[in-house]
Amino acid sequence: MTALNDAEALFTSLTGRGAEGVWSSAGRANLIGEHTDYNEGFVLPFAIQHRTYAAAGMHADLAIRVASTFSPDPVEVALAELETLFAGAPGAAVADGTVPEWAAYPLGVAWAALAASGRSAADVPGVDIAIASDVPVGAGLSSSAAIEGAVAAALNDLWQLGLSPLDMAKVGRRAENEAVGAPTGIMDQVSSILGRADAATFLDCRTLETRSVDLGLEREGLILLAIDTKVEHAHASGGYRDRRAACERGAAALGVPSLRDLTEADLDRARDILDDVTFRRVRHIVTENQRVLDTVDALASGGPRAIGDLLVASHASMRDDFEISVPELDTAVDAALAAGAIGARMTGGGFGGSAVALVEADAVDAVADAAARAFAARGYAAPHAFTVVPSEGVRRDA
């Protein structure tokens, strides 16, 4: 059984009928550009082959019912109640137990999609949605954005909302920020929805302009290997919020709208003005933005083998300046590099999740084995290494 089959089967068990369609969206890995998105900076993620599927169909009742293989209990909400449910403080419905966290993602997408399209709850029929996924949860590969993209695509078609792919990405971000209460940027949703095979998506998070950047991995005989540390992370946790707040404090103290407006030439002034912790948070964002631009240039001029040092420098900055790595992530990166990886870094929001390593195709097993041995030597739980293939974004599957 595939996740697509699981979604279809769950829909049938929930409703007693077949789905009108199945839509899916991809998980994502970030090649480079971490925590720059909510600072209006630059990112370079890519959609991966692991996907979340939403089997959906309409019904006469004016309600939305969502079910997931993650939870045995479906959740039903009247369409007219979505606004009341999510219009309050970010994440309030989750925090007070009104809505389970997993259900806040699809329900929040329905709420945000109606608002984005200018439609009201009275304008659309009820809908059932059954969700299944093969995106590893808690691995830093954006299982949440994959849910948001799949559900947004399903509702966009069924409700004929007329949303563009970028509109759907904005819907997903609003759902995550306000319905779930996770203060993320828009990188994950854009990558999950707009991805293309053997390419990364360069995103300017201020203008929301995007363009595909060819990676050339297949041509060069290279593989991107994800190493899931099995240390789960959560975007709604305090560490993520603290980093975002530090960035906002740094921008305010330096008199700029966001850290996007600073360059490396501003760092000496920043060092004089800011306390040490805030300065290091700012330095990571400023240098990471430049590394993204340098990576795009290096891919164009020298191909993927030219970006290894940039990936390594990015990890060091996240470890030392932004302090979002954990010992397991550092171990994965160090082991991969020692085993011959061209470059490696943690990927995702940090505090756990996965590292990604750029390796020769014939060295995948050696790098994976090196990571496993290094984890065992330190007494860590065994990691899970698997290839991540830059893939297409949102689509209708059935």
Q: Which among 308, 317, 307, 347 has a CA at the least distance from the CA of 329?
A: 347
**333 vs 210: CA distance, rounded Å:** 29
Residue that is written with structure tokens 């053997």 in the block: 198
Strand partners, 308: none
Active site residue: 6, 128, 167, 188, which one?
A: 188
Token duo for residue 398:
């059935």
Q: Are 371 and 386 in contact (CB under 8 A)?
A: no
198 classed as catalytic: no
Within 10 angstroms of residue 289's Cβ, the number of other Cβ atoms is 23
How remote is the C-alpha of 129 from its chain's centroid? 21
**276 vs 5: CA distance, rounded Å:** 52
Could you tell me what percentage of the chain is helix, strand and coil, using 3-state DSSP and rounding each to the nearest 5?
A: 50, 20, 30
Q: Are 151 and 64 in contact (CB under 8 A)?
A: no
Token duo for residue 319:
């470890």
H helix runs in the chain, sequence order: 3-15, 82-86, 92-95, 101-117, 143-158, 165-174, 187-194, 217-220, 238-254, 267-273, 276-302, 308-320, 327-338, 364-377
* Three-state DSSP state, 13: helix
Q: Which residues contact 188 (CB under 8 A, 6 or more apart)?
A: 28, 45, 142, 144, 145, 172
Q: Nearest 5 degrees, angle CA 353-CA 315-CA 173?
A: 55
- Beginning with the edge strand found earlier in the chain, give each strand of the sheet holding 222-228 in spatial order: 343-347, 354-360, 222-228, 384-387
The residues assigned a catalytic role are: 188
